[in-house]
C-alpha cells in the first residue's frame, strides 16, 4: 500500500510539473529575437525619450507573456545615444551589426533620424520612428508611426484659423530640420490661404535655449497690431520650460496669444509647474484623457508595469504601441524576422490604436491616425477641444511645396519607390528612395 501511495504521489507531482511547464510559454531552443531600443536617456532630449525606452520594455514584456514571436522570446537591447545626433548612427550600427537586432524602435528628433537613415539602408534593417516629423521623406527601411504635417501641423493651423479667428502667426521652433521644414510647409500653406507675409513671424532657437525674454517681447509686440495672433510651436525638449515661464512672466495669456505646441505632451508636463501653460493648446494624435476601453486598459497595464500611479502616457508612446504591434503581426504573417519579408508583409497591416479605432500601415510607410487638438489643464492632462471625424492618411510629400507636390511614395512592387514623380513618371526625382 505504501508503495502504491508513493507511486500515486510521484505521478501527481509529475502531472503538476507538466501543467506548470504547459502554463509557461514553450520557447524554442534557438536564441532570442533581439529588439533594438534607440532613445536618448541623457542630454536635452531625455525629458521626452526616456519614457519611450520604458514603453518598449513594457511592450516586449507583455508580448513575451503571450508567447513571444514565432515561438521565441523577445529580448530588448537598449543603448543611449545621449542626445548626440552623430552618436545615433554609431549606436544604430552597434544594435544591428553587433547585437543582431531584428528591428529597431527609436529616435525622436529628425536630425537623429536623418543621422541613422544611411545605416538602416546599408545594413537593410528596420526602424520604427514614433514621433511627429516634417515629412519630405519616405525610406524603404523606415516606418513612420508619428504624424506627418497633414496629421498634426496643418490641422492645428486650420483650427486656430477657423475656430479662434487667428490672422497673425508666430512660427517658433528649435533650430534643426523638423521645425525648419514644418515651418516652410506652414508658411506656404498660410500664404495659400491668403495670409500676408508680413503677418508671419518665424523664429529659431538652439536646443536647450533658456533666455526667452527678448523673443517673448518680440512675440508680444507682434501680437499688438490689432489682429488675433497665435504661436505655432515646434520648440523641442527642455527649452519649453523657460519659454512658457517667460510667456507668463510677461503676462501673455492663452486667451490673448494662444500657443499650439507639437512637442509638448503629458510626459513633458508631468514634471512642470503647469500654471503658465493652462489654456494653451497641443496638437497630437492621442491624449491620455481619451475615453475608450482600449486606452483605459493600456493605462492600467502601464501603471501596473511601472508600479507608479503618477506615470503618464502620451502620443509617441501610442505610436510605439502601434508600430510594435504592426511589426509583430507582420513577422507572424511573414513567418520570419527577415527585413525584406517584413517590409513586404507589413503594408496593409491594421492594429488597434488607443483611440478606439484601427491604424493601418499604408504603402508609403506612414500610418492612418486621428488628429486631436487639446487644451492643457492644471493637472497636466489635455481636454480635447476638436478632433477629426475619422482617421487621416499620412502624406509623406507636401502638397504645398513646389518640389514635392508631384511626388508620391509606394513601396509595393512594381513601383517600390519613395519619391515617384507623377508628372514625369520617374522614380528618384528627390530625396531618399
User: How does pLDDT run across 27-57, given as a tens digit for each residue?
Assistant: 555 689 999 999 999 998 998 899 999 999 9
pTM for this entry? 0.89
Flag whether pLDDT at 19 surpasses 50: no
**Residue 142's closest CA among 121, 127, 131?**
127
Our separate counts of H helices and E strands in the chain read 12, 19
Helical segments of 41-166, H only: 46-65, 85-93, 110-123, 153-163
Residue 6 has pLDDT above 50, yes or no: no
pLDDT of residue 270: 87
Q: Which domains does the chain have, with CATH numbers?
A: 33-147+290-367 (3.40.50.2300), 151-284 (3.40.50.2300)
How does pLDDT run across 62-115, given as a tens digit for each residue?
A: 999 999 999 999 999 999 999 999 999 999 999 999 999 999 999 999 999 999
pLDDT of residue 395: 97
Q: Cβ atoms within 10 A of the Cβ of 286, count?
A: 27
As given in the structure block, the three cell numbers for residue 250 are 510677461
Give the whole-number percent of the chain exceeding pLDDT 70.
92
Which residues of 108-257 form beta strands (DSSP E)?
127-129, 142-144, 168-174, 200-205, 229-234
Q: What is the mean pLDDT of residues 312-339?
A: 98
Q: Which three cell numbers stand for residue 143?
A: 516606418
Query: Which among 219, 267, 279, 270 has a CA at the least distance from the CA of 243?
Result: 219
Give residue 272's pLDDT. Answer: 79
Residue 300 · residue 354 · CB < 8 Å: no
Question: How many CB atoms are located within 10 Å of the residue 324 CB?
Answer: 25
Q: How far is the CA of 419 from the CAs of 138, 262, 344, in angstroms?
A: 7, 26, 18
d(CA 198, CA 63): 53
What Cα–Cα distance (Å) separates residue 215 from each residue in 221, 233, 239, 247, 411? 10, 13, 13, 10, 43
Average the pLDDT over each of 67-71, 271-275, 295-299 and give the range with the smallest value. 271-275
Per-residue pLDDT tens for 199-239? 999 999 999 999 999 999 999 999 999 999 999 999 988 89
Cell numbers 509606394: residue: 410
Average pLDDT over residues 133-147: 97
Amino acid at each position: 500500500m505504501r508503495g502504491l501511495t508513493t507511486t500515486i504521489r510521484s505521478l501527481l507531482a509529475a502531472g503538476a510539473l507538466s501543467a506548470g511547464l504547459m502554463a509557461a510559454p514553450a520557447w524554442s531552443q534557438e536564441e532570442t529575437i533581439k529588439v533594438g531600443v534607440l532613445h536618448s536617456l541623457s542630454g536635452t532630449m531625455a525629458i521626452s525619450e526616456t519614457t519611450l525606452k520604458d514603453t518598449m520594455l513594457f511592450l516586449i514584456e507583455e508580448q513575451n507573456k503571450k508567447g513571444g514571436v514565432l515561438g521565441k522570446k523577445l529580448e530588448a537591447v537598449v543603448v543611449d545615444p545621449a542626445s548626440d545626433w552623430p552618436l545615433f548612427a554609431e549606436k544604430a550600427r552597434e544594435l544591428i551589426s553587433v547585437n543582431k537586432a531584428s528591428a529597431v524602435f527609436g529616435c525622436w528628433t529628425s536630425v537623429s533620424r536623418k543621422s541613422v537613415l544611411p545605416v538602416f539602408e546599408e545594413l537593410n534593417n528596420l526602424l520604427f520612428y514614433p514621433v511627429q516629423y516634417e515629412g519630405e521623406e519616405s525610406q524603404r527601411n523606415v516606418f513612420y508611426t508619428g504624424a506627418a504635417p497633414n496629421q498634426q501641423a496643418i490641422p492645428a493651423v486650420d483650427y486656430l484659423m477657423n475656430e479662434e479667428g487667428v490672422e497673425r502667426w508666430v512660427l517658433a521652433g528649435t533650430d534643426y530640420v523638423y521645425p525648419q521644414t514644418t515651418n516652410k510647409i506652414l508658411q506656404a500653406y498660410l500664404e495659400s490661404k491668403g495670409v500676408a507675409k508680413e503677418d508671419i513671424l518665424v523664429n529659431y532657437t538652439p536646443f536647450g535655449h533658456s533666455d526667452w525674454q527678448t523673443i517673448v517681447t518680440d512675440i508680444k509686440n507682434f501680437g499688438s497690431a490689432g489682429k488675433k495672433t497665435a504661436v505655432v510651436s515646434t520648440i523641442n525638449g527642455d527649452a519649453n520650460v523657460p519659454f512658457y515661464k517667460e510667456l507668463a512672466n510677461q503676462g501673455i495669456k492663452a486667451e490673448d496669444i494662444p500657443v499650439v505646441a507639437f512637442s509638448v505632451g503629458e510626459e513633458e508636463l508631468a514634471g512642470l509647474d503647469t500654471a503658465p501653460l493652462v489654456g494653451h493648446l497641443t496638437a497630437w494624435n492621442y491624449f491620455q484623457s481619451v475615453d475608450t476601453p482600449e486606452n483605459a486598459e493600456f493605462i492600467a497595464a502601464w501603471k501596473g508595469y511601472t508600479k507608479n500611479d503618477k506615470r503618464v502616457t502620451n502620443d509617441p508612446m501610442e505610436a510605439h504601441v502601434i508600430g510594435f504591434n504592426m511589426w509583430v503581426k507582420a513577422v507572424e504573417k511573414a513567418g520570419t524576422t527577415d527585413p525584406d519579408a517584413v517590409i513586404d508583409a507589413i503594408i496593409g497591416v491594421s492594429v488597434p490604436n488607443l483611440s478606439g479605432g484601427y491604424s493601418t500601415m499604408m504603402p508609403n510607410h506612414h500610418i492612418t491616425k486621428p488628429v486631436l487638438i487639446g487644451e492643457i489643464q492644471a493637472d497636466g492632462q489635455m481636454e480635447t477641444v476638436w478632433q477629426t471625424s475619422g482617421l487621416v492618411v499620412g502624406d509623406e510629400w507636401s502638397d504645398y511645396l513646389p518640389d514635392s507636390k508631384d511626388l508620391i511614395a509606394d513601396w509595393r512592387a512594381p513601383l517600390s519607390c519613395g519619391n515617384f514623380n507623377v508628372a514625369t513618371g520617374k522614380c528618384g526625382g528627390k530625396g531618399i528612395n
